[in-house]
Chains A and B, each alone.
Chain A
Amino acid sequence: MSSDANFMTADGNLEAAKAETKAAEQQPPAEQETSSLRIVLTLSVAGLLAGVLLIFVHQATQPAILAHKAKMLRLAVEEVLQSPASYDTLYLVDEKLHKELPAGGLEKDFEKVFLGKSADGRSVGFAVVHNRAGFQDQIKVIFGYDPRTKKMLGMKVLESKETPGLGDKIEKDLDFVEMFTRTQAPLVGVKTGAGSGDVHEIDMITGATISSKAVIRIINEAYEHWHPTLQAYLAEVGS
């Protein structure tokens, strides 16, 4: 267009050339009348391509993501059961624990607990996952305990968004975490230094009272929910 305009300028037809350039500027090519069909097609094809691409990326990354999640859970179970020789996953089916899922059942539809075993096959205790609201968001906790003695074996925070530097001490303050290995369920939270040395007492973290209380409540709730079932299972299995 511009060479055209130059040519016309040389020809002395300045006004016409200006008008022509102006019209060209105001009318970008092919933007005036895009048919609806083309719009729909463009978006559909783009969406389709994006979807196909994401399927491939999903398939490429999913194994690593799942493997990492499984590994984190395994490490957590081993930690809160104080490194058992092995552990079984048990599913709650009709109020009773079973090693196998019922035929056709999906794993995610059933509540589960983990039963740790020592090298000679004796049960050391159960690991239970439970969550409820903390200070910021849901806190997800796994803890291990022995239903026969009600002795706690360990606690680990799996997921939390508690305030950095304050509430997140429930996972980063090792004194607090360690306390769960020498107490008995059900737990009672007390102010640091105000306890009477009872086996049920947990010293709450100064500045993170709500988060500490939440952890204690999570464990007590799960304990009440699971304790009869777990006790019955151990009585039945007999070790």
Chain B
Amino acid sequence: MRQTTPNQDFFRGIWNENPVLIQMLGLCPALAVTNSVENSLGMGGATFFVLCGSSFLVALLKKFIPHEVRISTYILIIATFVTVADMSLEAMAPSLHKDLGAFIALIVVNCMILGRQEAFASKKPVSRALLDAAGTGIGFMIALLMMGSVRELLGAGSLLGYNIMGPNFEPWVVMILPPGGFLTLGFWLLGLTWYQERKKARLANDGAGAKERRAA
């Protein structure tokens, strides 16, 4: 495994290796419950909690976990945190819990979380694992918010429940239905890839230009 600095551990999950937009992990909740900003925040928050909690425990206990049953143990740890999040959310924010429904319980099978345990937390010290989990969690939250804000704005004409588009706006109902999730994700990925390609092309051009100038 390549060496990284603590800064890299934290920041790469937020953008350059964003779990949803770059790694294409955790797409199920990213498509299913991002029909409003509030739901995105709830899902992102719950996932952040589970990710940080399990990365901490896995990094802490890695010496005691036999190699043969490491995946089952990770799942057990993740599932425990998910159940804690599920119960707490139901007690503290019942309407949000109702909206997110089964997708809270399904955080258990979010491969983004298991992926961080297997690829990172089980091999690194606790502090690094926490930084990595926090970065990935924030990256996941950002991706969900990018989806949720577009979908709520177009599909309901509001943001966080506040009406933005005015009374004459006819909501695009499809955007808060499942197809809207696929459309939004598709357009975001298209836009981001296009931006990356342009950046790459520009860098290549600049490099070539500098060489020519130097040669001249």
Contacts and interface: CB of A to CB of B under 8 A. Distances in A.
B119 interface: no
Interface in B169-191: 171, 173, 176-177
Interface residues of A, number: 26
A42 B173 contact: no
Contacts, number: 65
Interface string B55-78: 000000000111111001100110
A68 B94 CA distance: 8
Contacts of A60: 91
Interface stretch (B2-10, B14-22, B82-90, B103-111): B82-90
Contact of B177 (A39, A43, A58, A163): A163
Contact of B67 (A34, A43, A163, A166): A34
A169 to B, nearest CB: 11
Nearest to B174: A165
Interface string B141-159: 0000000000000010000
Interface in A38-94: 38-39, 42-43, 46-47, 50, 53-54, 57-58, 60-62, 64-65, 68, 72
- A50, A163, A165: residue with the most chain B Cβ atoms closer than 10 Å: A165
A64 B65 CA distance: 36
Contacts of B66: 31, 34, 38-39, 42
A133 to B, nearest CB: 18
A61 B67 contact: no
Given A54-B83, A57-B84, A164-B176, A43 B91 contact: no
Interface string A143-185: 0000000000000000001011110000000000000000000
A43 B76 contact: yes
B92 interface: yes
B192 to A, nearest CB: 27
B35 interface: yes
B79 interface: yes
Given A39-B68, A164-B176, A166-B173, A64 B91 contact: yes
- B79, B101, B173: residue with the most chain A Cβ atoms closer than 10 Å: B173
17 contacts: A28-B67, A38-B66, A42-B66, A42-B69, A43-B76, A46-B73, A46-B76, A46-B77, A47-B76, A57-B87, A58-B87, A61-B90, A62-B91, A65-B90, A164-B177, A165-B171, A165-B177
Interface of B: 35, 64-69, 72-73, 76-77, 79-80, 83-84, 87-88, 90-92, 94, 101, 155, 171, 173, 176-177
Given A34-B66, A46-B76, A54-B87, 19 more contacts: A34-B68, A39-B66, A39-B69, A42-B64, A42-B69, A43-B72, A43-B76, A47-B76, A50-B77, A53-B84, A54-B83, A57-B87, A57-B88, A62-B91, A65-B87, A68-B91, A164-B173, A165-B155, A165-B176
User: What are the 8 A-B residue pairs with the smallest beta carbon separation, nearest first?
Assistant: A165-B173, A61-B91, A64-B91, A50-B80, A34-B66, A31-B67, A61-B87, A68-B94
